[in-house]
Amino acid sequence: MLDPTSPLRGVSDRLASPPLPVEIKGLVYETGGKRVIDDVDATIESRRITAIMGPNGAGKSILLRLMHGLIAPTQGEILWAGRPADRSMAYRQAMVFQRPVLLRRSVAANVSHALGLRGVGRDKRAICVDEALKLAGLERQASMPARVLSGGEQQRLCLARALSLDPDVLFLDEPTSSLDPASTLAIERLLLDAQRRGIKVILVTHDVGQARRLAHDVMFLHHGRVIEHQDSQDFFDNPQSEGARGFLSGGLVL
Amino acid sequence: MTDFIDAFRTALGLIATLDPDLVEILVLSIKVSLSAVVIASLLGFAIGGALAVYRFPGRGAVSAVLSALMGLPPVVAGLVVYLLLSNVGPLGVLQLLYTPTAMIIAQVVLVTPIIGALTRQACQDLLEEYDEQLRSLGASSSAIVATLLWDGRYRLITAVLAGFGRAIAEVGAVMIVGGNIDHVTRTMTTAIALETSKGNIALALALGIVLLTIALAVNASLIWVQRLANRLAYA
Amino acid sequence: MNIHRRLLLGLGAAFLLASFASTGFTAEDDFIVVQSTTSTQNSGLFDHILPKFTKKTGIDVRVVAVGTGQALKNGRNGDGDVVLVHSKPDEEKFVAEGWGVKRHDVMYNDFVIVGPASDPAGIAGLKDAEQALAKIAEAEAPFASRGDDSGTHKAERHLWEQAGVDPTKGSGDWYLETGSGMGATLNTAVGKHAYTLADRGTWLSFANKNGFEVLVEGDPKLFNQYGVILVDPAKHPRVKAEKGQAFIDWLTSAEGQKAIASYKIDGQQLFFPNARPGT
């Protein structure tokens, strides 16, 4: 919850403090008899953007949801700065999904509703909504029904909504996979801006170009295991595993 | 055939002169059914929303029972409420039998499952789309219910309309608990039953025509409210 | 949007409150509930005499019209203050079992056998009701029975018994047990070209005769006595004994009896007052 005694901080001028490092220890997730996440051990220390990549079905989305706490692991744990995630930590996280999920209300109301869920009072809410819409370039559309926006605008709105919650950690699950280049650019700009303000961004992406543009380090998943985790430059120039090599060269990785 | 022609003529006559008996019966019918629907909506929205969101053992069974109760015969609902309110029943001390309040209670019993089951379905459908996002935003279960109810408002209005249609048209429940007492608990439907049993077929038909017209008018105005709310919701 | 939502909610709440306020939720107490029969109700007698009583005493009379059997059952449950039915043996049993204070004669009318003008069983003009029923059974002509344990039904059953016929053997064939009130049974009779036993009051005020006529009348065995009983407050303390007794007193008084006698349809008197003074 936003600290009611802290001075009103504009979305655009505060510095986040994400609880790093993230330590994933012995993580296992089984469903329907299958081991979707198969004993993952990894550590994320960088304060810059981390990309999670891998072929379809590798378990990237599941891993993201496990980190965000939307699902519980079958075994293992995830520690944030040495502690497991609790309620207050969950409130400092936000997620944007592959397809924009917006309520049947106006653009502004969608952001306002999310702030309301976090207990933000009405007066503060109005200001936060304004700032969020400004950030996303959607002030003109504030009163429009959110669901008549274009795909790119909707996703920008989802991102703005997530940012308005003042998160320390931002998860994104292939946010631009179905968007046009202009919208993708807008989203990427917002992510770089978020990174500048100290927010830890963890991004699942299919798009190698996007990963090159944004990521500082890349975690490569295959069959539910992390088979590579390096600085992005090293990863793209010199992939260690056969799977990664195949993936980066555009082949179908079985 | 002559009965139908007589009926139309009688109906027009009653409406044109604003026959006081007719007006009295009409006002009571609408008051009873509308009150019942309002109460049933509050109950039904809460039950339907909770069933869709909260997980508990036996949830499936409760949902199935709720859906089954949509088809509860009005006479049975009336009979159950009658047994409760009768002087020798558990709630006899309230002396509610043969009053409009008893009729409202019986119709609430009848209409709540309809609104509840339809609300549950609407919320469930929405939940499929919203569940992850809402949990990501940190919404509590009760906050999720509130969100779904508002977002599903158009389907809920349809559920309310269905409930009202059931209430205004039934005769079994209000007849048993109300007693069809002249000037006290006589509604359109019980009046139609009475006039039919007196052989006043044309008058009974006329009342039926008036009832149909009123039901249509209420439906139309509710749809107007729906459109209005639709526009306002995006203000 | 919030303001508009609140407005809609406010309107709804206001309407709900208004409805409650005027639907007798906060009802006044000046009324009694009389459990009576559909035949009496359908004859229109109550519409004629009750306003006179209310005008005199200020007590509103709410009539619940069901079959005699149900009226007495409701009386046993205490769901009424007064019972006014037409089945003397059952009424006396009601009092004997302690549910009622005392039984008073009020009025009588008679039953008639009505049927299609074509009269397939040939009973028109007979002076003996049992003989007429025997002829109907023999011809297996359709006959509609109340079948609902009402006063009329009990009277009908008694007549069959005396005639030495068991009509239920033909139930579903020519003997149609409707299980309904007098009006509904008459509708069925007319629709099925069937004979039926009806009280004269309901028959005279029935508007769907469709060519049917009174075929048998005047037999003393078709005599139909009405009685009124106060539900015993000792058994059901919530019974409005004083007001209920006031109604009974009025009904059996000269004024009430005159009111009953003055009720006519097409110039014909329906009910004949016969309360004995001092009872």
pLDDT classification of C42: cutoffs 50, 70, 90: confident
Mean pLDDT of chain B: 90
* ipTM of the complex as predicted: 0.88
Q: Tell whether A106 lies on the interface with C, counting CB pairs under 8 A.
A: yes
Q: How confident is the model at residue C18 (pLDDT cuts 50, 70, 90)?
A: low
| Domain coverage including residue A50 | 18-102+166-248
Q: Does C1 reside within a domain?
A: no
Alpha-helical segments (H) within chain A: 60-68, 87-90, 107-117, 122-136, 151-164, 181-196, 208-214, 232-237, 242-248
SS3 B195: helix
pLDDT-based confidence at residue B188 (cuts at 50, 70, 90): very high
- Write down the pLDDT at residue C4: 57
Average pLDDT of chain A is 89
Please name the member of B147, B150, B235 whose beta carbon is closest to the beta carbon of A143.
B235
* pLDDT tens profile B25-64: 989 999 999 999 999 999 999 999 999 999 999 999 999 9
DSSP string, C146-212: --SS-HHHHHHHHHHHHHT--GGGGBTTTEEE--S-HHHHHHHHHHHT-EEEEEHHHHHH-S--TT-
Query: Hey, what amino acid is at C76?
Result: R
Residue C278 lies in a domain: no
Cβ atoms within 10 Å, residue B18: 8
Instruction: Give the lowest-confidence range in A124-133, B83-92, B223-232, C245-254.
Output: B223-232
pLDDT confidence bin for B217, thresholds 50/70/90: confident
Based on the fold, state whether residues C231 and C134 are members of the same structural domain.
Answer: no
Q: Which residue of B has its CA nearest to A107?
A: B234
Contacts with A109 from chain C: Cβ below 8 Å? 1
| Cα C126 to Cα C112, C215, C219, distances in angstroms | 11, 8, 9
pLDDT value, residue A109: 94
Q: Which helix (H) or strand (E) holds B50?
A: helix B20-53
Q: How many domains in chain A?
A: 1
What is the residue range of C154's domain?
111-222
For chain C, what is the domain count?
A: 2
Q: Are residues C228 and C216 in the same domain?
A: no
Does the domain at residues B26-198 carry the CATH identifier 1.10.10.10? no
pLDDT mean over B108-117: 97
Q: Is B198 on the interface with C (CB under 8 A)?
A: yes
Do C38 and C99 share a domain, yes or no? Answer: yes
Question: Whole-prediction pTM value?
Answer: 0.84
Same domain, C248 and C185: no
- Supply the pLDDT for residue B6: 81
Q: CA torsion sign, B24 to B25 to B27 to B28? A: positive
C191 and C128 housed in the same domain: yes
Residues C158 and C217 grouped into a single domain: yes
C80 and C90 housed in the same domain: yes
Which run of H or of E encompasses C83? strand C82-85
**Residues near C29 by beta carbon (within 8 Å), at least 6 away in sequence:** C240
The pair of structure tokens assigned to C99 is 């549910």
Backbone angles phi and psi of A29, in degrees to 5 = -135, 120
How does pLDDT run across C61-107, given as a tens digit for each residue?
999 998 888 999 999 999 999 999 999 999 999 999 999 999 999 99
The alpha carbon of residue A146 and the mean position of all alpha carbons in its chain are separated, in whole angstroms, by 21
**Taking the domains of chain B in order of start, what are their residue ranges?**
26-198
Any domain includes C14:
no
**Are residues C75 and C139 both part of a single domain?**
no
Structure tokens, A219: 């975690």
Of A90, A97, A143, the CB nearest to B138: A90
Report the candidate in A235, A240, A231 with the shortest Cα–Cα distance to residue A49.
Answer: A231
What is the model's pLDDT at position B31? Answer: 93
CATH no. for residue A34? 3.40.50.300
Name chain A contacts of C1, Cβ cutoff 8 Å. 105-106, 109
Q: Per the structure block, which two tokens stand in for A193?
A: 């801006």
Dist. CA A116–CA A124, nearest whole Å? 10
Residue C118 and residue C218 in one domain = yes
In a domain, A147, yes or no: no
As a whole-number percent, the residues of chain C with pLDDT over 90 amount to: 66
Residues C120 and C201 grouped into a single domain: yes
CATH of the domain at C231: 3.40.190.10
Does residue C7 lie within any of the structural domains? no
pLDDT level of residue A86 (50, 70, 90 thresholds):
confident
What is the structure's pLDDT at A13? Answer: 57
Tokens of residue A71, six digits: 């699902």
pLDDT of residue C14: 67
Q: Residue A110 has which token pair?
A: 């969608």
Distance from CA of C64 to the nearest CA of B (A): 5
Q: pLDDT-derived band of residue C250, with 50, 70 and 90 as boundaries?
A: very high
Which residue in B has a C-alpha nearest to residue A106's C-alpha?
B234
Stretch (H or E) spanning A170: strand A169-173
pLDDT computed for residue C278 by the predictor: 62
Cβ atoms within 10 Å, residue C8: 14
Contact C248, C104 (CB under 8 A): yes
Which subunits sit against A, judged by 3+ Cβ pairs under 8 A? Answer: B, C
